Amino acid sequence: GKFRRDGAIGLLAGHNLPLAMSGTLILAFGWFGLNTGSTLAASDPRIGLIAVNTMLASAAGSLTAILYLQQRYNRPDVAMACHGLLGGLVAITASCAFVSPAAAVLIGIIAGFLVVGSVLVLERHFRIDDPAGAIPVHGVCGLWGALAVGIFADGSYGDGWNGVAGPVRGLFSGDSGQLIAQFIGVATDAIVTFGLAMAFFVIVERTIGNRVAAEVEWSGLDSLEMGSEAYPNV
């Protein structure tokens, strides 16, 4: 399995790396529609900047993950490159209309480091197997992206969020109000989400259980739930 009895962490190969890369690029392409479409007006002149920032942050996130692993382990990792790309996309989503292209690159670079670092922390210190990278990509980079609005927003577009008056301006533009508002929002989301999720999992654990039996883990859920296996001869 992933975590061995001697404390070592096993490397589980992905199902199909070409398909994973293709899916990541399809998702990245769709992200342009997500971010630009959030203006709700095709005539909004900010759409061009939003698309550029989206592309720059995703590229910076992926490249950072590749170079970091190359420097540390003398080899890149395709799956982590995909995680870095998605982390950059998640991180830039909140601020794509409010920051400069240079800031978008920096946001993506930081997201790339956060993705790799949080994966290592989850596996080595918490022994949590997150093969989809949900916590590093959407949790950690989502948190960073929300805070990045209050740091890098240049005040050239939009109105303040979450009760903040005036334009959307970040800390580097001389206004700490948006950063404080973003921090309060992130903290509130984290507390509510964690509290509800924990309550749900406690209820499940005390009723039907969160894990299947050990023999089912060995045989696979496909065999139990679907009556068939994807790879019967393996």
- Which residues span the domain enclosing 79? 17-194
The residue-averaged pLDDT of 210-223 equals: 80
197 burial class (0-12, 13-18, 19+ CB within 10 angstroms)?
exposed
Task: Please state, rounded to an integer, the average pLDDT across all residues of the chain.
Answer: 89
Residue 157 Cα to chain centre, angstroms? 25
Is 176 within the bounds of a domain?
yes
Is 218 within the bounds of a domain?
no
Query: At 218, which helix (H) or strand (E)?
Result: helix 214-219
pLDDT grade for 152, boundaries at 50, 70 and 90: very high
Q: Which two tokens stand for residue 15?
A: 């199902």
State the pLDDT at residue 105.
98
The residue-averaged pLDDT of 35-47 equals: 84
Per cent of the chain over pLDDT 70 is 92
Is 210 within the bounds of a domain?
no
Is 230 within the bounds of a domain?
no
Is 44 within the bounds of a domain?
yes
Tell me if 213 sits within 8 A of 220, measured CB to CB. no
Task: Give the residue, 84 or 229, on which the prediction is more confident.
Answer: 84
Is 209 within the bounds of a domain?
no
Question: How many structural domains does the chain have?
Answer: 1
The residue-averaged pLDDT of 170-178 equals: 90
State the pLDDT at residue 132.
85
Tell me if 152 sits within 8 A of 174, measured CB to CB. no
State the pLDDT at residue 100.
96
Q: Can you give the CATH number for the domain in which 33 is found?
A: 1.10.3430.10
Q: At what angle do helices 177-207 and 141-152 cross, to 10 degrees?
A: 170
The CA-based dihedral angle spanning residues 83, 84, 87, 89, taken in that order and rounded to the nearest 10 degrees: -110
- For the cut 70, the answer to whether the pLDDT of residue 1 exceeds it is no
Is 98 within the bounds of a domain?
yes
Tell me if 177 sits within 8 A of 164, measured CB to CB. yes
pLDDT grade for 59, boundaries at 50, 70 and 90: very high
Is 220 within the bounds of a domain?
no
Nearest to 27 by CA among 149, 189, 146, 138: 138
| Structure confidence by residue, pLDDT tens digits, 70-87 | 998 898 899 999 999 999
